[in-house]
Structure 1
C-alpha cells in the first residue's frame, strides 16, 4: 500500500485491539463521554453483534465506523431512548450507524466521509432501507451535508451531546453521489476497496440476478462460453423450449429476423385467452413481466399512492414504486421462524391501513413459498373497498393445477394477475408475458402500449409453447425431482448449513451465524464457474447469510454441490483472488482451463 493510499475493509478480530484503544482515546480522554480506565481500552456489549468497517492509510489504521444490523436484536440507542416513543426506531429492518471515529492525526480529509459512505453501501447491500444514528452535535453539519435528517431529539452521554438522526439509504447514497460523485470516481483507482459490495452502485437502479451472463463478454462476443459456467444465479429454465418452439424458430430464422411482428400481437392474445379460458378483452401482452410492471404501475400509481409489498419479495416492485414513481411503499414482513409463509389473517389485518395497491408474488420469489389460491382469494374479496391487488404468478405452474387467480382477476374488478412465460416456458431470452385483469384496465394499458412490443420470435415461440402443455408438465415434474436431489446434495456439504426447498425451481441455502457470509460464498463459487444469487440486498430478513440456487440439470447440480462444498470446506481460500484453481470464466485463461 502506498504511503497515503486509503484502504476500506471489514474489521477483523485483529482490528478490535486498536479500535478499542482509539475509542478510549477519543471518547474517554478527548471527549469525556466515558470515564478513562487504566487499560486504555473501550468496548461495549454490542461489540459481538456490530459490524466494523475500517479505514487504513499506509497500512496504519486511520478510522472506523460501526453498523448494528437489525438481526442483532438491539441497538445502542436503546440505552437512551424508548422505541415506542419514537416511530423512526420502530421501523422494520432498521440499521444503526454509530461511532464514526477518525484518528486525530487524520481528521479534516475524506476519511470520515468515505467511511460513512462505506457504511451506507454495506447497509444497502444487506437490504437496509432506513438508518438511524446518534450524531455528535459538533459534527452535525457534516451529517446533514451527507443527507441525514435531524429528528430534533437530543441525547446526552457523559460530557457529549448528540442528536438523533435518520435517513433513507437510497436517498442518502443518491445525495452522496450527486455531491461527491466526481471526487469518488477520481478516488476509486487509488482506493483499496475491500468490501463485498461494489464501491459505486450500478446504474440500472434495481439489482437482478444473472451475473453469469457476464461470462459472454460485455458485448456478448463469446457466446460459446455459456457452456463453461453454471448460471444458478438466475431462474431461467434448465430445459429447452418445447420442440415445436425450436423447430419453428430454426426453420424460419432468416425470415423471422428481418420481419416485423403483428403490431398488437392479436394472435398471441387469442391463443392465451383460448388456452386459459379467459375473455380476450381481459388479456394484455408485454415483452416480459417487467415491461408490464412499468407500464401498468405508471398508469395506476402516482407520488400520493400507498403500496403494500411483501418482504422479502421480487425487488422490481419496490424499485418501480419507490424509485420510479416515488410513492410510499410499506412492507408486510415475512418471518424466517414462520417458514416465510404469508399468513392470510395477518395480511387481512394489514389491509385495514387501506392501500391503493397490494403486491403479492405467489409463489413468492425469493422465499419459494406458495399461499393457496383459495386463501388469497378470500383475503382479496374481504379487502377494504378501493384496494387493488397485483398478483405475480411467474412460477404458479410449479404450484399445481387450479392455483392461478386469472379467472378471478378477469371478473372481480379489484385484481390483476401478471404471468411471465419466461421461466416456466423456457423463453427468458425472448421476453414474453401477459396480464389478466378487468377489461377496462386492460383497455387502458393497451392504449398506452406502443406497437410491436412483443417481438416476432417471442410471439411465435409463445403460441407454440402454449400448445404443448404435456411437454412442460413433464419438465416441471422433472424439475421437482432435480430440486430434491440438489437440496439433498447441498445439505450433505456441511452439517451446519440449512437448505430449504422452494415450490418452484430453486432452493435456499442459509449459512450459520458467526461464520462466512453469503457474499463470500458467492464469490468463492464464482471463482469455480458456479454462479449463485446472494439475497442480502433483497431484504435484511436474510441477515447476509442466504443464497438462492436455481435448479439446473443433473450434471450442473453436481458442479454446484461440489463448488459449495469446496467453498465451505476452506472459506479462507479464494480462487477468485490469485488462487491457481481460479475458474472464473470472465478471465480468458480461466475459461480455457474449464
Structure 2
C-alpha cells in the first residue's frame, strides 16, 4: 500500500484519539525545531517535571521512555531472575516479545481469574502483568481489586496505556500506591490519548531505586527533543483533555449500539477508546472485504490466539467515520441475510 492509498484509508485498527494531536503539541513542535542542533538532556528534567506535576509525584519516581516498548524491555530484564511472569489472556503481543528476548518464562491467566483472585504458591517468586484498561477487551478493574496482588507477587507491572481516556474521577490507576509498594511498576503512554504515535513517547513510574537502575541500563537519549517538547505541552493542555473526556463516552456508546444492531455482531462493553466485537463472519474475511471495497481497515484478532477469527477490534473515531463503518457493515449484513453468505 503506497502513501497516497494509505492516507485514503479510514483506519479503525489503531486505537488513536481522532481529536488529536492537540494544537498545543503542534505549536510546541514548530517552536522546538531550533533545539534539533543540540543533544537532549539525558535526564529529561522538563518532561519529568511535567509528569510529576500531572500526577502529584516527585520526579525521582518517573522515567521518560521511547514509548511503552522500551519500558517492556527493561521490565523483562528485571524479571529474568524470577521464576516467571503471569500474563493476561488475551495478551498484547509485545509483552511476549520482550520476555522472549531474555528467555523469561511466562504463562497465562484468564481475565476471569483476575476477578476471582489469583492464588499461586510460587507468587513470591513470580511477576504479574496487568493491562488496565485491558487491550483488546476494554475491561477496567478497580484499584482496590488489584491492590491485593501487590502483597502476593514479587513484581506487579500495570500497563495503564489507555487509562488517560477516562476522566480523573473515573480512573482506577495504581499511581496512588506507588510510594507504598516498591514492587509496583506502572507504564503510561502519551501516544494514544494525544495521537502522537510517530513521536514514540511514554514513561514509567516506580520506586526511585528501580528508576535509577533502569536509567543506567538504557541507551542515552532514547527520547528525542521534539518528543519531550510535545509531551510537556500535552500534559499541560487541560482543554484538550476535557474535550476528549466529553467526546468519548457518548461517541463510544453510539458506535456500540450501532454495531450491536447488526445481526451477525455482538459488542463487548468497554471503558476505553476501542470496542471488541464478536463476529459470525471470519474477521480476516470481513477485514479484507471492507479494505478492498470501501477502504475501511478494522483490526482482526488473529494475533490474539484466544480470540482468532471470531473477533475484531475497532477504534472509536469521529461520528462521520463511525457512521461510514456502520453503513457498510449494515449493507453487508443485508447481503448476508439475503444470500446466506459467510454465515455458518
1:198-209 counterparts in 2 under 5 A?
none
> Does the residue aligned with 1:552 lie in a helix, a strand or coil?
coil
1:571 deviation in Å?
A: 5.9
Distance 1:450 1:507, change over 3 A: same
The aligned counterpart of 2:212 is 443
> Does the residue aligned with 1:501 lie in a helix, a strand or coil?
coil
Residues 268-300 of structure 1 deviation map (CA, whole Å, 9 limit, x = unaligned): 1121112211111111111100011113322x1
1:221-236 counterparts in 2 under 5 A?
222=3, 225-236=5-16
1:264 deviation in Å?
A: 2.6
Provide the rounded CA distance (Å) in 2 between the counterparts of 1:351 and 1:234.
Answer: 38
Distance 1:353 1:274, change over 3 A: closer
Distance 1:261 1:566, change over 3 A: farther
1:441 deviation in Å?
A: 0.6
Provide the rounded CA distance (Å) in 1 between the counterparts of 2:82 and 2:172.
Answer: 33
Which residue of 158, 162, 167 corresponds with 1:391? 158
Provide the rounded CA distance (Å) in 1 between the counterparts of 2:37 and 2:332.
Answer: 47
The aligned counterpart of 1:539 is 305
Aligned partners of 1:483 and 1:501 also within 8 Å: no
Structure 2 residue 203 is the aligned partner of structure 1 residue 434: yes
Which residue of 321, 329, 334 corresponds with 1:564? 329
1:543 deviation in Å?
A: 4.8
Compute the TM-score of the two structures, normalised by the length of structure 1.
Answer: 0.53
The aligned counterpart of 1:16 is none
Root mean square deviation, CA, Å: 2.2
Provide the rounded CA distance (Å) in 2 between the counterparts of 1:355 and 1:473.
Answer: 42
Residues 487-527 of structure 1 deviation map (CA, whole Å, 9 limit, x = unaligned): 122223x2232012310101121113xxx311111111111
Aligned partners of 1:311 and 1:539 also within 8 Å: no
1:375 deviation in Å?
A: 1.2
Provide the rounded CA distance (Å) in 1 between the counterparts of 2:5 and 2:224.
Answer: 26
Distance 1:274 1:373, change over 3 A: same
Which residue of 34, 39, 59 corresponds with 1:280? 59
Residues 188-215 of structure 1 deviation map (CA, whole Å, 9 limit, x = unaligned): xxxxxxxxxxxxxxxxxxxxxxxxxxx4
The aligned counterpart of 1:372 is 142
Bigger relative contact order (CA 8 A; separation at least 6): 2
Provide the rounded CA distance (Å) in 2 between the counterparts of 1:294 and 1:567.
Answer: 42
Provide the rounded CA distance (Å) in 1 between the counterparts of 2:252 and 2:268.
Answer: 10
Compute the TM-score of the two structures, normalised by the length of structure 2.
Answer: 0.90
Provide the rounded CA distance (Å) in 2 between the counterparts of 1:362 and 1:416.
Answer: 13
The aligned counterpart of 1:320 is 98
Provide the rounded CA distance (Å) in 1 between the counterparts of 2:301 and 2:121.
Answer: 27
Provide the rounded CA distance (Å) in 1 between the counterparts of 2:46 and 2:257.
Answer: 44
Which residue of 224, 236, 242 corresponds with 2:22? 242
Aligned partners of 1:410 and 1:439 also within 8 Å: no
Distance 1:568 1:377, change over 3 A: same
Structure 1 or 2: more helix by fraction: 2
The aligned counterpart of 2:223 is 454
Distance 1:521 1:505, change over 3 A: same
Judge which range, 559-568 or 372-381, deviates more.
Answer: 559-568
